[in-house]
Structure 1
Amino acid sequence: MGSIEGENNKSLEIEREKKLEDWLPITSSRNAKWWYSAFHNVTAMVGAGVLSLPYAMAQLGWGPGVTVLILSWIITLYTLWQMVEMHEMVPGKRFDRYHELGQHAFGEKLGLWIVVPQQLIVEVGSNIVYMVTGGKSLKKFHDLVCPDCKNIKLTYFIMIFGSCHFVLSQLPNFNSISGVSLAAAVMSLSYSTIAWVASSAKGKQTGVSYSYKDTATSGTIFNFFNALGDVAFAYAGHSVVLEIQATIPSTRENPSKKPMWKGVVVAYIVVAICYFPVALAGYWIFGNSVEDNILVTLEKPRWIVATANLMVVVHVIGSYQIFAMPVFDMIETVLVKKFRLPPGLTLRLIARTAYVALTMSIAICIPFFGGLLGFFGGFAFAPTTYFLPCIIWLAIKKPRRFSLSWLINWSCIILGALLTVLAPIGGLRSIIKSASTYEFFS
């Protein structure tokens, strides 16, 4: 009798688990095509970071700057390939979330503690930076279109930008935001093109200098570290890659990694088209006088710069949603599983609205764009992007010592660890410098 009851309880638990999986945003829809993966990855990757690349180049200098850009592109494409491969490495099971892969590699508890804090810092950090970027770009657009209008505080523009997310965050899953994501991907390509074409049209500025801006050696070193974080931030789509792959159907004959990888390759070609011309043209034309957002440096032609800023707004709307979706998934899982709250519209409405309000409030309090990029870029983006996939690969695949795979992974781990240590130092100094002259809610 007891065994029958146990069996019933077990089947009820499995049934409940399946119902929950069908409701949660990451696993509720598995009918995405390969091109969904392409534009989701472009939207996640080509973030606001692209606009700070000429500034990063100015802090790094020509040689180190070009080396860091190319190396980052190669390393992050390699680690992305690893994650796509590991999504279904256990037959009959899919690692739909980054932390599930971590748990498989490091154990149930340790895996959660290693992955979840880092993933949350990346996603929540990105959302805060996107709130700041959206607000700044809206303000820039307003100031360009109406130069004689009354000056409006940045705080209000961040609130205007944030208000659309109270509505968009109610979209249930990744596939339902594919339209927003496609628009965002098109916009990222468009404004990146505008940034480098408009810079090139200006021609090399008179008296342009490629020397380091800070005359003190310590300042140059700190700025160098901060720039490494800026570049790390620019390649930060890995924290959502498994979640994007989870939306693609999979069979034994046609596993999800095939369409996913196709989408990733297309996305990385777009990333190269966006990043390299902006970084190199922006630095070549403006030298060390370039701002931490290239569109701020470009004052004219006014209508083109205004259009580009509006495109940035549309793009970061999509990026915010892409990075918020795994966070919504975590919040809803905890509320339903741990706190036994009934899944439904009410829970979704309250939880997601609270999250949007939180990221908006933090963005209003600390809108230091450049410093935030460097700090978050090194602190959490470097581990999740540059070397955590390599550590998981070594733990699960166990390649032979000193084999090619072993050497490549250890090289990535060493470079990534250096980035994790150095970049936040520069970013923190930049935040402290900005904070010393900043007034709250200005």
Structure 2
Amino acid sequence: MEEVRDRDQNTQVEGIESGLEADKSQNSIKRTGNLWTASAHIITAVLGSGVLSLAWGMAQLGWIAGATTLVVFSAVTLYTSNLLADCYRTPTGAPCHTYTQVIKNNFGEAMYGMCATVQYAILGGLLVGYTITTSLSIVAIEKSECFRIKGHEAVCRASHIEYMIGMGIVEVLLSQIPNFDKLSFLSLFAAVMSLAYSSIGAGLAFAKFVSGKGGGTSLGGIEIGIGLSPSQKMWRVFRAFGNIAFAYSYSIILIEIQDTLKATPPENVVMKRANAVAVATTTAFYMMCGCFGYAALGNHAPGNMLTGFYEPFWLVNVANACVVAHLVGAYQVCAQPIFKAVEQRSRRRFPKSKFINAEYSIGIGKHKLTINLFRLIWRTMFVALATLVSMIIPFFNDILALLGAVGYWPLTVFFPIELYITTNKIPWHTWRWLGLQTINVTCLLVALAAGCGAVEGLSRGLKGYTPFKFVE
């Protein structure tokens, strides 16, 4: 093995710390991203497991509130994401390579610490959610085959645990991809997969509805009555808000995505176009999956829309296979910012450590594989931990609602709005300031309600649940 020093990367880390780093295209990493790769990254991160819960969310809210909530969240997300895109470069022209660096440059250490804690907690939670969703989709394929062979009345049960472990093993291997800039091929593939299973889900739902076999729906969603008390209805509505918020949460990696773009044309201009393309695309699919799914499955729509369909067997299995393929890529899109943050901090603290900084080149035929021992060990341990948590708390809708509640308001609404107010020096007594703060407070109240609903759902789900025995 040949040891090589990545001096350019160490220089880059020191530049980030001082806030005066030159553009990465002139440093160690040549940025090659464009409108379409950025849009693919966003679609990969956004159009994921959240789309599968929208039919369930519509069933809790009903036609009017459900459709309105989807549109409002998309508009707020697009607006605040564009505000955040303008904060990529500092007034001196230096780029900010991470979301947390933007916060640190504008608000100081205290807000930086709060933002970093929330961001990385949410990203870690997403990995748990993706692992759970992957196992749900693989089990759905297994049960579909069981029903195809034995009939719909057969008792078909399967364990999720081994599939979660398998997902963890695959992600351990993929996690050795050095950085975000090397993920474009994976994101493009994952984006195609996400569009594929969303289209299949919407198509299956539409076909079931037009055939006259759709479930019962109402303007107000599932009705209070036998088996559903007023308080349970309220908690479900709150969780539905959290699920929809989760479906639009991508600001946590927006700056990291923007940091892959070429410097010309300006990154913020391209990023705003990518925001528009991605949000418009995802909203269209969300409306189709949510509305068609609700029309087809009715007020008792399952948490994962695809589990409500069993025929045609082959098409349902293809859709679930696409979910698995998509989430394998989306996992890395969300994990790489965590990997990058820990490794940069470690290099700054231990600049002379060979264990942390040395890169080893291994020849495999005509190709060379670069390995870093610290990266290999720590990333493996992190993926193993995320897999373990998934096996302990495998509650799909409640996890999504909690992630949406905790992450959407501070990272997608609060920080972008406060950054815009600060950088543009908007006086507090103006109509613009009042309008921005109205959006801020309204989203905070919705997030608090969603958080309460998610905690209630998790506490109820944990009663009588035995860890590591997730079978359905």
Q: How does 1:6-405 map to 2 (within 5 A)?
A: 17=14, 28-107=29-108, 109-147=109-147, 152-203=158-209, 204-205=212-213, 208-210=216-218, 211-214=221-224, 215-250=228-263, 254-340=265-351, 341=353, 342-343=356-357, 344=359, 345-401=372-428, 403=430, 405=432
Structure 1 unmatched ranges of 5 or more: 1-12
What is the CA-CA distance between 1:15 and the residue it aligns to?
Answer: 7.6
Which residue number in structure 2 is paired with residue 3 of structure 1? none
- The alignment yields a C-alpha RMSD, in angstroms, of 2.4
Deviation (angstroms), 1:68:
1.1
Question: What is the CA distance between 1:90 and its match in structure 2?
Answer: 1.7
How much does 1:152 deviate?
4.4
Q: CA-to-partner distance for each residue in 1:124-181, whole Å, 9 max, x for gaps? A: 0111100111111112122223556995420001111221111111111222111111
Structure 2 CA distance for partners of 1:90 and 1:295, relative to 1, 3 Å: same
CA contact (8 A) 1:383 1:420 kept: no
Q: 1:220-240 CA distances to partner (integer Å, 9 max, x unpaired)? A: 111111111001100011000
CA distance in 2, matches of 1:232, 1:73: 9
Does 171-180 or 361-370 show the bigger shift? 171-180
Q: What amino acid does structure 1 have at the position aligned with 2:60?
A: Q
Which deviates more from structure 2 when the two are superposed, residues 256-265 or residues 35-44? 256-265
Distance 1:16 1:270 in 2: 36
- 8 A Cα contact 2:70 2:283, kept in partner: no
1:408/1:45 CA distance change after superposition, 3 Å:
farther
TM-score by structure 1 length? 0.90
Instruction: Answer yes or no: is the 8 Å Cα contact 2:14–2:348 preserved in 1.
Output: no
- Write the letter of the residue equivalent to 2:194: S
Once the two structures are aligned, what percentage of the paired residues are identical? 29
Separation in structure 2 between the aligned mates of residue 158 and residue 139 of structure 1, nearest angstrom:
11
Matched letter for residue 370 of structure 1: N
* 8 A Cα contact 1:189 1:270, kept in partner: no
Q: Who is 2:5 aligned against?
A: none
Gaps of 5+ in 2: 1-9, 151-155, 360-371
1:428 to 455, 458, 469: 455
- Alpha-carbon offset, residue 368 of structure 1: 0.3
> Which whole-Å CA distance do the structure 2 matches of 1:398 and 1:16 have between them?
31
Q: In the TM superposition, what is the alpha-carbon distance from 1:330 to its structure 2 partner?
A: 1.1
> CA offsets per residue over residues 366-388 of structure 1, 9 Å max, x none?
11001111111102233211322
User: Displacement of 1:395 after TM fit?
Assistant: 2.4
Over 3 Å counting, the alpha-carbon distance change for 1:206 and 1:239 in structure 2 is closer
Q: Is the 8 A contact 2:131 2:167 kept in 1?
A: yes
Q: Distance in 2 between matches of 1:432 and 1:118?
A: 22
Does the 8 A contact of 1:135 with 1:160 survive in 2? no
TM (norm. structure 2) is: 0.85
* Whole-Å separation in 2 of the counterparts to 1:400 and 1:271: 35
Q: Name the counterpart of 1:418.
A: 445
Are residues 86 and 243 of structure 1, via their aligned partners in 2, closer, same or farther at CA, if it must alter by over 3 Å?
A: same
Amino acid in structure 2 at the alignment position of 1:315: H
State the Cα distance separating 1:419 from its structure 2 match: 2.0
- The residue number in structure 2 matching 1:7 is none
| Residue-pair matches, total | 425
Superposed CA offset, 1:55-99 (max 9, x none)? 011111222211111000000000110111111242321111111
2:362 aligned partner: none
Contact 1:39 1:185 in 2 (8 A): yes
In the aligned structure 2, how far is the partner of 1:229 from the partner of 1:338?
A: 38
Q: CA deviation at 1:30?
A: 1.7
Verify the 8 A CA contact 1:27 1:246 in the aligned structure 2: no
Q: Deviations over 1:222-261 (max 9, x none)?
A: 111111100110001100000011111215xx32112222
Aligned partners of 1:134 and 1:316 also within 8 Å: yes
Change (3 A) 1:32 1:412: same
Q: Is the 8 Å Cα contact of residues 34 and 262 (structure 1) preserved in structure 2?
A: yes
SS of 2:86 mapped into structure 1:
helix
Contact preservation (8 Å) 1:225, 1:425: yes
The letter of the residue matching 2:186 is V
> Which whole-Å CA distance do the structure 2 matches of 1:382 and 1:139 have between them?
33
Rounded Cα–Cα distance in structure 2 between residues aligned with 1:27 and 1:384: 29
Matches of 1:280 and 1:381 in 2, distance apart? 23
Q: Do 2:215 and 2:299's aligned partners in 1 also have CA atoms closer than 8 Å?
A: no
The aligned counterpart of 2:3 is none
2:445 partner amino acid? L
CA 1:278/1:206 → structure 2, altered by over 3 Å: closer, same or farther? closer
Residue-by-residue CA offset, 1:42-62 (whole Å, 9 max, x unaligned): 111112001101101111122
1:298 Cα deviation from its structure 2 partner: 1.3
Q: Distance in 1 between matches of 2:119 and 2:39?
A: 21
d(CA) in 1 for partners of 2:250, 2:173:
24
Give the secondary structure class of the aligned counterpart of 1:71.
helix
8 A contact 1:131–1:360 mirrored in 2: yes
Which amino acid counterpart does residue 205 of structure 1 have in structure 2?
K
**Per residue, is there more helix in 1 or in 2?**
1
Q: Which segment drifts farther, 295-304 or 380-389?
A: 380-389
C-alpha contact (below 8 Å) 1:141/1:309 kept by paired residues: yes
SS in structure 1 opposite 2:183? helix
Offset at residue 334 of structure 1 (A): 2.3
